[in-house]
Amino acid sequence: MALRHGRGYAAVNYPTGMNLGGDPSQALVHATTMGGFVVTLSSVDLGQGLRTVVAQCAAETLGIPIEHIIVDTADTDTGPHCMGTFASRGTHRVGNAVIMAAREAREVMLQVAADELEVDAEDLETDGTGFIRLKGSSEMKIHVSDVALAAHFRQGRTISGRGIFLKEPSTPVPETGEMDPDSCQAHACTVAEVEVDDETGVIEVLRLYNTYEVGRALNPAIATQQVEGGAWMGLSHALFESTEPYYPGSREHGPVDFVEYLMPGPADIPAQTSVFLERPAGNGPFGAKGIGEMTANAPIPAIANAVYDAVGVRLTSMPFTPEKVLRGLDALRAGRAG
């Protein structure tokens, strides 16, 4: 009896967005009287960091500090339309809509600044610190807060913009079945290192190595958290979770709360190394693709392949319990004996 070590690989590609009647998301951007900018959405941040990435897209497009951006997710009664937070579409769809709205607002902002400075708007640029200045000059400039005040109280103008991203629906070509159901595809590979006790059947995941191609990681720290949080979910599916273990009598025999429902605890989380490869998508906001759902996928078959590498047992149903490992080992011994 021994502790057996194995390594397994698995790769996945995953679509961004869906083919749902255009799959649109809208955004509104407007300046406050003091030069802050409000991004109004109906899109929901589920904890994945959408509000942060949206603020980044707006700030980069407007050319102002991110601290000047307020993201208001409002609700579906009062905000502009959004299809929803699903299908790994949030950053791609909403980011594109926000960029479009911010570009329109930026044009108005620069024109107001041009009127105040008595120059042409085409000759102005933002410096990223909150100032709008004449190109090639460090002296002729105006702060965004002064531009907003001038727009509201002197020029009587609204610095605002509207944006929508629409993926046109695609229907299959009858002769070939060819269609374009998504906007772009992200790719990933996970390598899992495991230790399997061939006496008890217990599997321990020691390390996970994650490589993701997600177009461009707009916020690498948040992207890393998504990858490693998703890997935790994949680990949980692989080793612990069973949706309906006693179906149809789940209420009588199965877990009824999170005390009884097993998931990995802190001691079960393996060391992780995560790397991003950047291949910007032509239709993504600053090249970004979707990343959300795919992060739980690759770890599962990677762990299964690692177990096979360690003890020769091919596991094909989740969760990969000690009982399944031991039954597989018994089958292998019986096969050799026969």
- Which tens digit of pLDDT belongs to each residue from 191-231? 999 999 999 999 999 999 999 999 999 999 999 999 999 99
Domain boundaries, the chain: 3-16+182-337, 23-166
CATH fold, domain 23-166, is Aldehyde Oxidoreductase; domain 4 (3.30.365)
79-83, 112-116, 176-180 — which is least confidently predicted?
A: 79-83
Q: What is the pLDDT of residue 250?
A: 64
Looking only at the bridges linking them, the beta strands covering 3-15 and 25-31 are: unpaired
Q: What is the pLDDT of residue 89?
A: 81
46-50, 62-66, 307-311 — which is least confidently predicted?
A: 46-50
Q: What is the pLDDT of residue 258?
A: 80
Give the C-alpha separation, 83 to 148, whole Å: 32
- Region 263-284: what's the mean pLDDT? 93
**φ, ψ (nearest 5 deg) of residue 289:** -115, 175
Question: Which tens digit of pLDDT belongs to each residue from 120-158?
Answer: 999 999 999 999 999 999 889 999 999 999 999 999 999
pLDDT confidence bin for 244, thresholds 50/70/90: low
Question: Which tens digit of pLDDT belongs to each residue from 5-38?
Answer: 999 999 999 888 877 677 889 999 999 999 999 9
Using CB atoms within 10 A of its CB, is residue 225 exposed (0-12), middle (13-18) or buried (19+)? middle
CATH fold, domain 3-16+182-337, is Aldehyde Oxidoreductase; domain 4 (3.30.365)
Q: What is the pLDDT of residue 251?
A: 67
9-23, 104-118, 321-335 — which is least confidently predicted?
A: 9-23
Q: What is the pLDDT of residue 189?
A: 97
Residue 338 pLDDT exceeds 60: no
Residue 280 pLDDT exceeds 90: yes
Q: What is the pLDDT of residue 261?
A: 80
pLDDT > 70: percent of the chain: 95
- Region 97-116: what's the mean pLDDT? 98
pLDDT confidence bin for 87, thresholds 50/70/90: confident
Q: What is the pLDDT of residue 72?
A: 93
